[in-house]
């Protein structure tokens, strides 16, 4: 892949699939799309049902940039038993140590509960993120970047410890989870409540930019397709691609084939995953775009 600093700043697009390792059907879709040339990147879960298969496939697909999809909710911790006891104040789901809080709201309630100070909060977040990142690295996967499940690193209180964990592991690239205005306007048929919630979260954008710069990390100009999550079909993707301006962008996607494992997982992204496979095939041979992965981003100055 051509280094990014040798390219003019035009329409450069990272096409990333989240949830690598979630199910065999998700893994198969990611690898097929990567071989077809319409997917350049994927973020891998360190403790999901099909993680071991995804690790093997990642090592067999060197053209695919692979990041760590740090899971802080709705998943399983990678911390050992001794560490879990140190963080006994976390609201482990159903009282089961190792089962992470089910929702962002449950996680935030645990992190900001009375009696939990900033040091405790950040120690847990850094330790969990570092354990997930290094589990993948120790398995032989070279990681290009990190992001988080449910985009939780958009919250400044969670961002700094996650960045510290990544830096300790030698990673200096991270997803910019904020979607630019042009992409939001190009995304139609979104329920009002979701659009309002989405816009409210844009409040954290300036803090994200400042913290990422302060910590010496590299990111893109923004993520597209986030608002369209669950409805990213061919029409929606065509709207985004015909509107995209010059810059460095990441298209966030969730492709996957239906399988038995997926039917047992709590997710709102079930039927939409196969729709996204079809949509992403639009990128096959997209010569007007420079497709790349996070590993091609230049180092921080």
Domains held by the chain: number:
1
Inside any domain, residue 206: yes
One digit per residue, pLDDT tens: the chain, 301 residues? 333 333 344 689 999 999 999 999 999 999 999 999 999 999 999 999 999 999 999 999 999 999 999 999 999 999 999 998 888 888 776 667 788 998 999 999 999 999 999 999 999 999 999 999 999 999 999 999 999 999 999 999 999 999 999 999 999 999 999 999 999 999 998 999 999 999 999 999 999 999 999 999 999 999 999 999 999 999 999 999 999 999 999 999 999 998 887 777 777 656 788 999 999 999 987 767 899 999 999 877 6
Dihedral pair phi/psi, residue 148, rounded to 5°: -130, 145
Question: Would residue 182 count as lying in a domain?
Answer: yes
- 117-167 tens-digit pLDDT: 999 999 999 999 999 999 999 999 999 999 999 999 999 999 999 999 999
Residue 154 belongs to a domain: yes
Q: With helix as H, strand as E and coil as C, how does the chain read?
A: CCCHHHCCCCEEEEEEEEEECCCHHHHHHHHHHHHCCCCCEEEECCCCCCHHHHHHHHHHCCCCEEEEEECCCCCECCCCHHHHHHCCCCCCHHHCCCECCCCHHHHHHHHCCCCCCHHHHHHHHHHHHHHHHHHHHHCCCCEEEEEEHHHHHHCHHHHHHHHHHHHHCCCCEECCCCCCHHHHHCCCCCCHHHHHHHHHHHHHHHHHHHHHHHCCCECCCEEECCCCCCCCCHHHHHHHHHHCCCEEEEEEECCCCCCHHHHCCCCCCCHHHHHHHHHHHHHCCCCCCEEECHHHCCCCC
- Domain at 161, CATH number: 3.20.20.370
Is 301 a member of any domain?
Answer: no
For residue range 69-79, list pLDDT tens digits in order: 999 999 999 99
Give the other-Cβ count within 10 Å of 88's Cβ: 8
Q: In terms of residue numbers, what domain contains 102?
A: 4-296
Q: 199 in a domain, yes or no?
A: yes
Residue 32 and residue 64 in contact, taking contact as beta carbons nearer than 8 Å: no
Tokens of 3: 């280094």
């Amino acid at each position: 892949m051509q280094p990014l600093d040798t390219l003019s700043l035009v329409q450069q697009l990272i096409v990333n699939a989240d949830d690598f390792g979630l199910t065999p059907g998700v893994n198969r879709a990611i690898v097929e799309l990567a071989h077809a040339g319409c997917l350049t990147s994927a973020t891998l879960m360190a403790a999901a049902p099909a993680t071991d298969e995804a690790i093997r496939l990642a090592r067999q697909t060197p053209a695919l940039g692979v990041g760590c999809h740090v899971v802080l909710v709705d998943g399983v911790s990678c911390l050992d038993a001794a560490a879990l006891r140190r963080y006994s104040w976390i609201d482990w789901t159903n009282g089961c140590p190792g089962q992470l809080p089910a929702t962002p709201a449950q996680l935030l309630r645990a992190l900001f509960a009375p009696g939990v100070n900033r040091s405790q909060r950040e120690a847990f977040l850094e330790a969990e993120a570092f354990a997930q990142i290094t589990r993948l690295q120790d398995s032989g996967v070279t990681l290009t970047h990190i992001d988080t499940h449910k985009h939780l690193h958009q919250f400044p209180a969670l961002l700094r410890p996650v960045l510290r964990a990544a830096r300790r592991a030698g990673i200096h690239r991270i997803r910019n989870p904020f979607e630019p205005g042009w992409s939001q306007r190009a995304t139609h048929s979104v329920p009002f409540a979701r659009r309002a919630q989405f816009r409210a979260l844009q409040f954290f954008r300036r803090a994200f930019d400042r913290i990422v710069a302060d910590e010496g990390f590299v990111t893109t100009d923004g993520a597209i397709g986030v608002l369209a999550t669950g409805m990213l079909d061919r029409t929606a993707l065509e709207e985004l691609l015909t509107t995209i301006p010059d810059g460095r962008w990441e298209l966030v996607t969730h492709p996957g084939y239906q399988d038995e494992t997926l039917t047992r997982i709590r997710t709102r992204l079930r039927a939409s995953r196969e729709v996204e496979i079809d949509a992403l095939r639009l990128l096959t041979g997209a010569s007007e775009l420079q497709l790349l992965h996070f590993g091609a981003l230049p180092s921080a100055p």
